Structure 1
Amino acid sequence: FRLFFLSKKEGDIQLLAGKGLPGGRRSRKMAGYGMPAAGYPPQCSHPSAACSPPPYYPPYPPPQPDQTYYYGAAAGGNRHRTFFQCLILCATTIFVVLSIISFIFWIVFRPQLPDFSVTDVTVSGFNFSGNELSANWDVNVTAFNGNKKLRVNYDFNKAAIYYEGEVLAVTSLPPFYQDTQTTTTIPVHLATASTFLSDFTSNQLKSSRSNGEASFDIQLRFGLQFKSRKWTTRWRTLRILCENVEIDWTTSGSNPAVGRLKSAGRCLA
């Protein structure tokens, strides 16, 4: 093999022949090779020492942004997002659970709204003074509970009578209880005491009264609660409208001031 060394004194590259060279000749100076450039290749203090490249120092990294601010803001946003997600999840869960319970309740008990009808009406003291009306109304309303397993509680009850959309009288009704598959008669007394009506409504009602017939609307409002042995529903508002309740004054015989029920329209919930 051949070894190349850098001569420190002369600066020439010499070829030194080791064992195995033919004739044991020594290498001569290589013409055309001068001193190496300053600083390259690196100079070694000893021929046997391993020459290592100069140390490399990487540039300083750029400054990093304030991690506390960004992480804090991100953590705050995550907390708010997590809170709203939990709130929506809880609301959805409650809604689904209540829906399932209501569905099971409906499947088991089959709740039905009671049926209402107007069975009797008597109008007395019907009198006009200008546009002011005075009258007394005695109405009987029947309610039928067709449920086989559910009883009904009625509370916060009210009744009103209308003519052409204007209120003639309003009254409150006492609470009552209705058992399964029973019919209950609800007596309703209303008083119209010097109630002022518009010119149009007043003239229309006077004309109908003089012809012997007039149609009124009766509205009922109940607070309704279904009950069984193990279940009790929350209170609900039930509104009943009985339209076109016809009153006839011509069938009263000797007392034409008293009007009576001629026909009752359908009562709708």
Structure 2
Amino acid sequence: MAEGQKDGCLIAGSILIAVGLIVLLVLLILPFKLPDFSISSASVSLINASSSSQLTANWNLTFSVQNRNKMTGIYYDQINASVFYGSDFIAVTSLPPFHQDKHDLTTVQARLAANSMYLGDQVIADINAERSRDAVNFNFKLISWVQFRLIPRRGRKRLLSVFCDDVTIAYANATAFGTLFTTHPRQCQVDL
């Protein structure tokens, strides 16, 4: 091989390596976009809020989770979903881990149950008063460890918090099941 061809190959190889390193550095320092969470459906079984300050109810929720990243997958692990009335804790459940590729939309089901959960006289009175007006507001929270994954690189684990506050559950009458008040998904706040 002639001396000029060797120099040309060496220059082309150097340029290719430099471009590859620049692309890799850009990918590694790109800011990650937080996923979008919304409640697309919700139902609550007949609430039994007794005079003994206890609550029995079942919640069935469907969350829509949108990965907004163009180049990064997200892995969710150790997911807990909870329901609150105001700031009063009612129930918690664990959800299975899942992975989202870039731009994926994933549906996550959560079933929460309270069986004779003690809440106190005032909280039970407030729930019963709201229910008598055909709607009760609940707060839902999801907590998960997440990794933003740029293959083959795995990011460090971070704690993701999702808050869905003042979700209105409407009741047709005092004996009916409650459902999400709106026909549109209810957006949630996401923090990392």
In 1, distance between residues paired with 2:37 and 2:153? Answer: 24
In the alignment, is the contact (CA less than 8 A) between 2:50 and 2:124 conserved in 1? no
- Name the Cα RMSD after superposition: 1.8
Match of 1:114 among 32, 35, 41: 35
CA drift at 1:199 = 1.8
CA drift at 1:108 = 4.7
Q: 1:199 to 1:175 in 2, by over 3 A?
A: same
Identity percentage of aligned residues: 33
Say whether 1:135 aligns with 2:54: no
Unmatched tracts of structure 2, length 5 or more? 1-24
Say whether 1:230 aligns with 2:149: no
Counting only pairs closer than 5 Å after superposition, residues 59-70 of structure 1 correspond to structure 2 as none
* Aligned residue in 1 for 2:14: none
* Aligned residue in 1 for 2:44: 123
Question: What TM-score do the two structures reach when normalised by structure 1?
Answer: 0.57
In 2, distance between residues paired with 1:231 and 1:247? Answer: 42
Say whether 1:188 aligns with 2:110: yes
In 1, distance between residues paired with 2:163 and 2:58? Answer: 20
CA drift at 1:210 = 1.1
In 2, distance between residues paired with 1:148 and 1:189? Answer: 31
Counting only pairs closer than 5 Å after superposition, residues 6-17 of structure 1 correspond to structure 2 as none
Match of 1:258 among 168, 177, 185: 177
Say whether 1:221 aligns with 2:143: yes
| SS in structure 2 at match of 1:225 | strand
Q: 1:228 to 1:107 in 2, by over 3 A?
A: closer
Cα offsets for 1:134-180 (capped at 9, x unmatched): 00100000100011110010001000010021011111111011111
In the alignment, is the contact (CA less than 8 A) between 1:142 and 1:183 conserved in 2? yes
* Aligned residue in 2 for 1:239: 161
| SS in structure 2 at match of 1:172 | strand
In the alignment, is the contact (CA less than 8 A) between 2:45 and 2:58 conserved in 1? yes
Cα offsets for 1:28-58 (capped at 9, x unmatched): xxxxxxxxxxxxxxxxxxxxxxxxxxxxxxx
Q: 1:226 to 1:105 in 2, by over 3 A?
A: farther
Counting only pairs closer than 5 Å after superposition, residues 1-269 of structure 1 correspond to structure 2 as 108-130=29-51, 131-250=53-172, 256-263=175-182, 265-269=186-190
Aligned length: 163
Highest CA radius of gyration, 1 or 2? 1
* Aligned residue in 1 for 2:22: none
In 1, distance between residues paired with 2:86 and 2:31? Answer: 37
In 2, distance between residues paired with 1:138 and 1:268? Answer: 20
Unmatched tracts of structure 1, length 5 or more? 1-103
In 2, distance between residues paired with 1:146 and 1:265? Answer: 18
In 1, distance between residues paired with 2:59 and 2:39? Answer: 13
Which protein is richer in strand relative to its size? 2
| SS in structure 2 at match of 1:209 | helix
Q: 1:201 to 1:152 in 2, by over 3 A?
A: same
Q: 1:231 to 1:105 in 2, by over 3 A?
A: farther
In the alignment, is the contact (CA less than 8 A) between 1:223 and 1:238 conserved in 2? yes
